[in-house]
Amino acid sequence: MNPSIQLSQFFPSPEDIPSEHRLETPIHQRAYVVNGQLATWSGDMKRVLSPICVRATDGSVSQVEIGSYPVMGVAESDSILEAAGQAYDSGRGEWPTMPVSKRIECMQEFVRQMAAQRDLVVKLLMWEIGKSLADSRKEFDRTVEYIQATIVALKAQDNENSRFTVVEGTIGQVRRTPLGVVLCMGPYNYPLNETFCTLIPALLMGNTVVLKPPQYGTLLFWPLLEAFRTAFPKGVVNTIYAPGELVVPRMLASGKVNVLALIGSSRVADHLKKQHPKSHRLRAVLGLDAKNAAIVLPDADLDVAVKECVQGALSFNGQRCTALKMLIVHQSIVAEFIRRFTEEVRKLKVGMPWEAGVNITPLPGPHRTAYMTEAITEAVDKGAVVVNANGGEHCATLFYPAVVYPVREGMRLFREEQFGPVVPVMTFDDVKEALDYVMTSDHGQQVSIFGTDPDEIGALVDPLVNQVCRVNINCQCQRGPDVFPFAGRKDSAEGTLSVADALRAFSIRSMVALKETEKSKQLLNAIVRDHSSNFINTGFIL
Residues that bind ligand G3H (CB under 6 A): 189-190, 194, 320-322, 478-480
Residue 385 CB coordination number (10 Å): 12
Name the minimum Å distance from CB 10 to ligand G3H.
24
Name the minimum Å distance from CB 444 to ligand G3H.
15
Instruction: With H, G, I as helix, E, B as strand and everything else as coil, classify residue 487.
Output: coil
Cα→Cα distances 272→249, 261, 289, 410, Å: 6, 11, 16, 30
Asked whether the beta carbons of 192 and 125 are under 8 A apart, the reply is yes
Name the minimum Å distance from CB 214 to ligand G3H.
12
Asked whether the beta carbons of 258 and 181 are under 8 A apart, the reply is yes
Instruction: With H, G, I as helix, E, B as strand and everything else as coil, classify residue 229.
Output: helix
Taking the least distance from each CB to ligand G3H, the nearer of 194 and 417 is: 194
Taking the least distance from each CB to ligand G3H, the nearer of 68 and 448 is: 448
Taking the least distance from each CB to ligand G3H, the nearer of 93 and 401 is: 401
450-475 burial string, b = 16+ CB within 10 Å, else e?
Answer: bbeeeeebeebeeebeebbbbbbeeb
Taking the least distance from each CB to ligand G3H, the nearer of 41 and 484 is: 484
Name the minimum Å distance from CB 43 to ligand G3H.
32
368: closest CA among 215, 212, 197, 139? Answer: 215
Q: Please confirm whether the linkage preceding 481 is cis (ω < 30° from 0).
A: yes
Q: How far apart are the first and last CA of the chain?
A: 66
Taking the least distance from each CB to ligand G3H, the nearer of 218 and 388 is: 218
Taking the least distance from each CB to ligand G3H, the nearer of 315 and 537 is: 315
Asked whether the beta carbons of 129 and 222 are under 8 A apart, the reply is no
Name the minimum Å distance from CB 316 to ligand G3H.
7
As a whole number of angstroms, the distance between CA 448 and CA 327 comes to 9
Name the minimum Å distance from CB 71 to ligand G3H.
27
Which residues have C-beta within 8 Å of that of residue 283, sequence separation ≥ 6? Answer: 179, 258, 259, 260, 505
Name the minimum Å distance from CB 314 to ligand G3H.
12
| Bridge-based pairing state of the strands 292-296 and 324-330 | parallel
As a whole number of angstroms, the distance between CA 45 and CA 146 comes to 33
Taking the least distance from each CB to ligand G3H, the nearer of 161 and 198 is: 198
Name the minimum Å distance from CB 263 to ligand G3H.
7
- Give me the count of residues in the chain: 542
Name the minimum Å distance from CB 497 to ligand G3H.
8
Taking the least distance from each CB to ligand G3H, the nearer of 55 and 320 is: 320
Taking the least distance from each CB to ligand G3H, the nearer of 264 and 401 is: 264
